[in-house]
Chains A and B, each alone.
Chain A
Amino acid sequence: MVSVDSLILIAIIAGGALLLLVIIFRLAWRVAEPNEALIISGFKTAKEGTGAVELHDSLGFRIITGKGTLVVPGVQTVRRLSLDLRQSDLAIDCVTHQGIPLGIKGVLIYKVGDDFSSIANAARRFLDQQNQMDQRVHNVFAGHLRAIVGNMTVEEMIRDRDKLTSLTRSSAGSEMEKLGLIVDSLQIQEIDDPTGYISNLGRPHAAAVERDARIAQAQADQAATEAEQEADARKAEARRNSAISQAGFQAEVDRAAATSQQAGPLADAAARQQVVVQETKVAELEGQREEQRLQATVRKPADAKAYEQTTLAKGARDARIAAAEAQAKEVELQAGANAQRVKLEAGADAERVRVAAAADAEHVRLSFAAQADSVRAVGEAEAAATQAKGLAEGEAVRAKGIAEADSIKARADALLQNQDAVIGQQLAENWPAIVEAAAKPFGAIDQLIVLNGAQGVSEVLAQALSQGVAGLQMARTILGKPSRPANGQDAEELPPPKGEV
């Protein structure tokens, strides 16, 4: 029993010691993960360090990557530097090479370099400030980015990625090397373009693309529509052809049906037609038979009767003609006799009348001749008497005319010799009429007051009478009327007619 207890005790102690040993080793042994580096500083670090060969004359710390190492607790310290990818967001306002202001948002992907130099540089700068590394890098890289953008145009920034990375390397590479950092990538995520440069940049292309798209769409639409319309037209044509064919077939069917329907009636009609034909022939034959019968029974007797009557009528007519001719001859002869008789009677009458007329004419002629002789004798006697009478009268008138002519001639001579005296005589003879004529102008005056008494009256009359030729003419007209029968011209005109008789 004792030995068993002591064995158990020994085992427990041994186990405890082993456990203790494992714990101590576990505390002293450190392993570097693939994404980190161990920075060991302290006792004997410079001599034992795996990667510290190059750092003998350096600051004297050891860098372990990718494996484990024994660290003596208390005399050595271990710090871990992450080699992970880090990211720093950049947001800066900058100006491009063309002077266009842009707001750029980018992201910088970086890490601590994998070589010992970079790890040492980074470790000396950021070991206690690994959380602030992003801020530091941001501050450093903002200026670099501003310089990078200032060396580029907007178009290059958008398209020329090679230039962007190249400029990033050349401007920021050495600076980052100091910090032990490697720029894996610089990405520009967002460009804020307050002036609208980028949108304007793309607008022509967008318009062209839109134009092409619309053209293509329109053409496609047109082609589709044409195809559809053509298809519709083809369909309509096919439908039309089909309808035509169907109609044609239907017509044939109808025709056949109609023909089939007509077949019965046609057959009937044909049969009836033949019957009618036969009946017609029968009727014709009957008609002929009837005609023959009538010829025999009616016409022949009628012809015979007509002939008989004609013959009789001809005989009667000839008899009547002969009678009429005889009568005409008779009348003619009688008329000739009558005419001869009348002519003779008329000749006798005419001779008698002519003789009587000649006697009358002679008688009348003789009586008229006697009467004419008597009348002529009377006329000649009267003519002689008249001639004698006329000569006597003519002589008497001529003698009277000569006497008057002489008297007028004497008066005319007297007038030529003393016209005033004659006028005065005639004036005296016709004074009352003159006075009446001269007083006519005063007749219109109711009361004539004469201042010089009787002498004044005579003066007035004298003035009235002495008013030139007018007054004398008036006087002559007044005088001419009563003395016209004594005018010589009338007396001379009278004798010639008497002289001619």
Chain B
Amino acid sequence: MVGKIGRVTGRIAPGLLGEVMIPVRGGTEAFHAYAADEGDVITTGTRIVVVEYHPPRTVVVSKM
């Protein structure tokens, strides 16, 4: 999972649980997402890279 490139579908902001779509297992799945940098705001449509993976469905991402 770590290193995969995805796309933000729900805005990531402090106090807000974002959502990203990540291609995995031959399809794309939605994962809950937090920003790697505290206070970083990532708007919808931004491309991200997965930094950490917290099973089952949470990732930490940063902007590319």
Question: A: which residues have CB within 8 A of B?
Answer: 113-115, 117-118, 121, 162, 165-166, 169-170, 173, 177, 180, 182, 184
* B56 interface contact, C-beta 8 A: yes
* B11 interface contact, C-beta 8 A: yes
Q: Determine which residue in B16, B29, B57 has the highest number of CB atoms from chain A within 10 A of its CB, and name it.
A: B57
From 7 to 21 in chain B, residues with beta carbon under 8 angstroms from any chain A beta carbon are 10-11, 16-19
* B32 interface contact, C-beta 8 A: yes
Determine whether the beta carbon of A166 is less than 8 Å from that of B55.
Answer: no
Determine whether the beta carbon of B11 is less than 8 Å from that of A117.
Answer: no
A166's partner among B17, B29, B30, B57 (CB-CB below 8 A) is: B17
Q: Which 6 A-B pairs have CB atoms at the shortest separation, nearest pair first?
A: A117-B56, A170-B17, A169-B17, A118-B56, A117-B55, A173-B32
Question: B: which residues have CB within 8 A of A?
Answer: 10-11, 16-19, 25, 27, 29-30, 32, 44, 55-58
Determine whether the beta carbon of B25 is less than 8 Å from that of A166.
Answer: no
* Cβ of A333 to closest chain B Cβ, rounded Å: 175
Interchain CA distance A223-B11 in the complex, whole Å: 50
Interchain CA distance A184-B29 in the complex, whole Å: 10
Determine whether the beta carbon of A162 is less than 8 Å from that of B44.
Answer: yes
Query: Please, could you name 26 A-B residue pairs with CB atoms under 8 Å apart, sorted by A?
Result: A113-B57, A114-B25, A114-B27, A114-B29, A115-B25, A115-B57, A118-B56, A118-B57, A121-B56, A162-B10, A162-B11, A162-B44, A165-B10, A165-B19, A166-B10, A166-B18, A169-B17, A169-B18, A169-B32, A170-B16, A170-B17, A173-B17, A173-B32, A177-B56, A177-B58, A182-B29
Determine whether the beta carbon of B56 is less than 8 Å from that of A115.
Answer: yes
Determine whether the beta carbon of A169 is less than 8 Å from that of B19.
Answer: yes
Contacts of B18 in A (CB 8 A): 166, 169
Contacts of A165 in B (CB 8 A): 10, 19
Determine whether the beta carbon of A182 is less than 8 Å from that of B10.
Answer: no
Contacts of A117 in B (CB 8 A): 55-56
Known contacts A169-B19, A173-B17: A115-B11 contact under CB 8 Å: no
Determine whether the beta carbon of B56 is less than 8 Å from that of A169.
Answer: no
Given contacts A165-B10, A180-B56, 20 further A-B contacts (CB under 8 A): A113-B56, A114-B29, A115-B25, A115-B56, A115-B57, A117-B55, A117-B56, A118-B56, A121-B56, A162-B10, A162-B11, A166-B10, A166-B16, A166-B17, A169-B10, A170-B16, A170-B17, A177-B57, A177-B58, A182-B29
Q: Determine which residue in A121, A166, A170, A184 has the highest number of CB atoms from chain B within 10 A of its CB, and name it.
A: A166
Contacts of A184 in B (CB 8 A): 30
